[in-house]
Amino acid sequence: MFSGSSGEVVIYYLAGTAFVFLLVTIIVIIIFLHQKRADEYRYRLKQEEMERQRSVFAAEQEGEERERSRIAEELHDGVGAQLCGLKMKLDYLRSEISDVRNLKIIEDTCVGINDSINELREISHDLQPAQLVEKSLQQAVADYIDGISTGAGCQFHVYYEPGDVIINFQLKRHCYRIITELLHNICKHSSASSASVQISSEENKIQLIIEDNGKGFDSQQATDGIGLRNIHNRVKLCGGAIHIDLSDKGTTVIIELPLNN
């Protein structure tokens, strides 16, 4: 009799232990699933926020490009046309004036207007991304370098290895803006005597390497500067990566952008 009671106790004990274990397991699973859903929800919110930021920046960039195009057209068709009209009038006056001193003043003025027209044309071309439709990225960058080389005190070199890939217009425009912004920073801040732009592409990405032998900039500028912030935003918008190496020998910026984004 005692033996039977003892066996029942063991059975009840095992059953109770199994029940408690099952209950604890169920609680752990519920907590795990709840935590998983919470993590997924937070991740989804984070992705939605990142996508919202990308959408906002993309819209800002599109608006900026439209404004650039509008200003370029107004400069070319408005101010440029007025300068050409003034030059034609001065050319007519030059043919009618015999006084040497006044003729010299008119000729000097014509030269100044010609220089202004050429500079205005360069500014207009730089503002207008439509030139990228007709030009390769290499040619667009080379033209930009030609425009900034005069008086910059820095020798620029472009190395281009396009491979067999096709760069769509949006990516080409982002690459062009990134490169020109970095070159502008080199001219303005680095005091470099030499700088280079390397553009290469593989099957699924394009790589930009911009180097100079100048004094560089501090790490705070790398994150707080408006131009560099725009570069970081463009890289993020394209789903790419950026690495900036600062040293006493100069600055190297390496950017990789996927071709299929």
The answer on 41 and 78 residing in a single domain is: yes
The Cα–Cα gap between 230 and 111 comes to 38
The answer on 110 and 142 residing in a single domain is: no
Query: Where is the domain boundary, 65, 98, 125?
Result: 125
The answer on 199 and 164 residing in a single domain is: yes
- pLDDT at residue 22 is higher than 80: yes
Show the tokens assigned to 205: 């990405």
The answer on 161 and 114 residing in a single domain is: no
Residue 246 belongs to what domain range? 134-258
- pLDDT at residue 248 is higher than 80: no
Task: Tell me the pLDDT tens digit for each residue of 127-177.
Answer: 665 567 778 888 888 888 887 775 557 888 888 886 667 788 888 888 988
144-153, 197-206, 250-259: which range is least confident on average?
Answer: 144-153
- Return the pLDDT at 111: 81
The answer on 209 and 182 residing in a single domain is: yes
- Mapped onto helix, strand or coil, the DSSP state of residue 49 is helix
Residue 224's pLDDT band, with cuts at 50, 70 and 90, is low
- Return the pLDDT at 83: 77
Give the CA dihedral 231, 234, 238, 239, nearest 10 degrees.
60
Residue 145 CA to its chain's centroid (Å): 18
**Mean per-residue pLDDT of the chain:** 79
Sign of CA dihedral 227, 151, 125, 240: negative
- pLDDT at residue 12 is higher than 80: no
The answer on 154 and 225 residing in a single domain is: yes
The answer on 158 and 116 residing in a single domain is: no
The answer on 163 and 49 residing in a single domain is: no
Query: Where is the domain boundary, 125, 143, 161?
Result: 125
Query: Where is the domain boundary, 79, 105, 125?
Result: 125
Task: Tell me the pLDDT tens digit for each residue of 81-135.
Answer: 777 777 777 777 777 777 767 778 888 888 888 878 777 766 776 666 556 777 8
The answer on 121 and 191 residing in a single domain is: no
The answer on 10 and 120 residing in a single domain is: yes
Show the tokens assigned to 24: 């604890």
The answer on 138 and 119 residing in a single domain is: no
Q: Is the pTM of this model over 0.85?
A: no
Here the CATH number for the domain that contains residue 139 is: 3.30.565.10
58-62, 169-173, 198-202: which range is least confident on average?
Answer: 58-62
- pLDDT at residue 253 is higher than 70: yes
- Return the pLDDT at 207: 92
Number of domains forming the structure of the chain? 2
Tell me the percentage of the chain whose pLDDT exceeds 90.
Answer: 9
- Return the pLDDT at 4: 53
The answer on 121 and 86 residing in a single domain is: yes
**Are the C-beta atoms of 197 and 157 separated by less than 8 Å?**
yes
